[in-house]
Structure 1
Amino acid sequence: MAVTFDLFGTLVDVAYPSDPAEVVARELESRGVDVPDDWHVAYGERHVDAPAGAEVPLPAHAAHALESRGVDASGNVVRHAVVAAFDPDVTRRDGALAAVRDVSDQAPVGLLSNCAVPELVPKTLIRAGLRGEFDAVTTSAGCGWRKPHPKAFEATADALGVAPETLVHVGDTSETDGGIVDIGGRFVDVTETPLSAVASELEAQQ
């Protein structure tokens, strides 16, 4: 058995931009990019023909949105703009650190997060005081797949050196985190089982 935790909404709370397209636009403009007048429309369009469940990193999406309007911008410039746009305040949820450490006494522990923004997960872990607490950290931007796609769970299982069906995934959203059940693993919903009870519940089930 190995245990993976979701990050956002499970271990931490963050303040997301209310208008991400506008925040990205401001960061692009501050770096000399001529943002098109219909940027909000372009940002909301699909520009990459990716398979269902695949993750398109946000810098790639933004770059394609600019290209669709005839704007050429360096990939590094777009990446830096997107990273700067998503620089949230982070609050670690009550019991999060204790839950991760208590579970780590029983099994390998990983993190599996849907996140299309490069650097956001490691930055969040630092700010939440959770850096170094996991045996493996897997993000959708890094592995290329978003929960609930099986390949997301398979990627984190591989990183932990276990079979996917032996995973227990702890999260807050049944529609995404609950996808672990489709490959034979187990889902622990923190909206029903508080973080403070996760370790004891796992121990009871062994």
Structure 2
Amino acid sequence: MPLDFTAIDFETANSSSASACSVGLVKVRDGRVVDEANWFIKPAPPHDEFMMWNTKIHGIVAADVAGAADWAGQLPDLLDFVDGDHLVAHNASFDLGVIKAATIASGLVVPDLRYVCSLQVARRTYHLDSYRLPVAAMAAGFEDFRHHDALADAEACAAIIVHAAARHEAEDLERLAHITRVKVGVIGPVATADHASSHGPMALQ
């Protein structure tokens, strides 16, 4: 099986997981980046206030997203890009939490997605003082990127997984997860039910 996945990163307007204001996506096929996408997202009320702390981190303000699609409007494009791939994110509980929270806040059904956390993979691959994305990406040979730009962060995440797979001689993402003892997480009703039937009552909800 080839090393295929989509790396994803979100930036948020405030502390609410439903306040996604930017997304970056990087598609990897057989260990190589073949496509990229990024766009602004207009957070839906009451999750649409841009907090100073968040803007200080990523530089996005309300005016930047004024003409962007809201979560309900952009979710089909996101899922079309992912096209059934496993997702990869650095601290994946945050990014998948954004998908779940923003979808629920929009009154939609949470999509069925499977994912692997590159932060956890990095912890089991490198010996570093910190496993923050810039440090782990540097260990993977990916340097000098604009941290907290959603697309750049997704590119860095993809680089970590590709490098880690080569180091562990893992032919695909699920093999890499197995070797590094990282759980393949799930969200969505069908994926969660399938995972529970395969892994027992401790499966993620």
| TM-score scaled by length of structure 1 | 0.30
With CA pairs under 8 Å and 6+ residues apart, which has the higher RCO, 1 or 2?
A: 1
- Which structure is larger by alpha-carbon Rg, 1 or 2? 1
Q: Give TM-score scaled by structure 2 length.
A: 0.30
Bigger strand fraction: 2
